[in-house]
Amino acid sequence: MHINAFDRFHFHDSFIHRLDPRIKVVVTVAFILSNAILPDGSWLAFATAWLGLLVVNDLSNLGLGYSFKRSYIILPFILVAITAIFSPLGNPLAEWDLGFVTLIPTDFGLVRFFSVLTRSWLSVQMAILLVATTQFPDLIHAFEHLRLPRVLTTIIAFLYRYLFVLTNEALRLLRAREARSAGLPGQKRGGKLIWRTKVTGSMAGQLFLRSYERSDRIYNAMLARGYTGHLRTLNPHKMTRADWLVLILSLFVILFIQFVGWVR
């Protein structure tokens, strides 16, 4: 089961891990922004960006292929982007008649499709690196420093705390159902469809109720152990000279990528 999927943080010690989380957030966002404004088909710039990613992978002691191996997340969305190949702009390359619709792939569309894919694939890798090198509470802390509304960061902090508890709860419900989803040989099993949906719905209700009542109990358990509205961590969060240096350097690299992308 995928409970362990929750903490994507990887216990390695590296220069990147020790950077101030704010720097990492800013650089990540800048990198993704930069990908978004690179023109279609600027392959050289994309390649440069990827090189940058490889360097970060290596500096974080995660291994060169770390973020690459996890970037399959975008795969399902490729289906959506495939339709870009049939863009009305550009010169037609072929004509496929499927009976109910005629598809015309164009050169513009093809470039567009691969550009979208590459941008997405690069951006996702950067986000993966951010999470792999920063503990989530530190990340939330960084967002607080970056002036996100307090209500929101607190909600997110609680969401994170309870994520383990409640997803576990959901998994337990699923597992309980699974364990008794029995059948007899030669007999129709599973009950009526309407009953099955009702069971799933009740499980959602059950989950809600458990969450709600447990929220009371755990919140009180937190209060009982001195919680006053601030989650504390053992990390000081001070910007050092190295942090500033990395920030400036990274922004220059990103500017360089833009340079490569726009010079034709």
- How many CB atoms sit inside 10 A of residue 259's CB? 11
CB of 67 to other proteins, least distance (A): 10
Task: Name which position in 16, 23, 122, 246 contacts other proteins (CB under 8 A).
Answer: 122
- Which positions from 55 through 94 interact with other proteins, judged by CB under 8 A? 70, 73-74, 76-77, 80-81, 83-84, 86-89
Query: What is the enclosing helix (H) or strand (E) of 103?
Result: strand 102-103
- 53/67 Cα distance (integer angstroms): 8
Q: Which is nearer to other proteins, 3 or 239 (CB)?
A: 3
Q: How many binding residues for other proteins (CB under 8 A)?
A: 135
Can residue 7 be called a binding residue for other proteins (CB under 8 A)?
Answer: yes
Among 164, 239, 240, 252, binds other proteins (CB under 8 A): 164
Instruction: Calculate the alpha carbon distances from 77 to 55, 104, 121, 204 in Å.
Output: 27, 21, 11, 28
Closest Cα to residue 10, out of 70, 51, 54? 70
Residues 175-204 that bind other proteins (CB under 8 A): 175-185, 187-191, 195-204
Residues between 102 and 121 with contacts to other proteins, criterion CB under 8 A: 108, 112, 116-121
Find the binding residues for other proteins in span 8-47 (CB under 8 A): 8, 11, 28-29, 32-37, 39-40
Q: How far is the CB of 76 from other proteins (least distance, A)?
A: 6
Residue of 68, 33, 65, 10 lying closest to 250 (CA atoms): 33
Q: What angle do CA 221, 223, 229 make, to 5 degrees?
A: 130
Question: What angle do helix axes 107-133 and 43-59 make, rounded to 10 degrees?
Answer: 20
**CB 241 → other proteins: shortest distance, Å?**
24
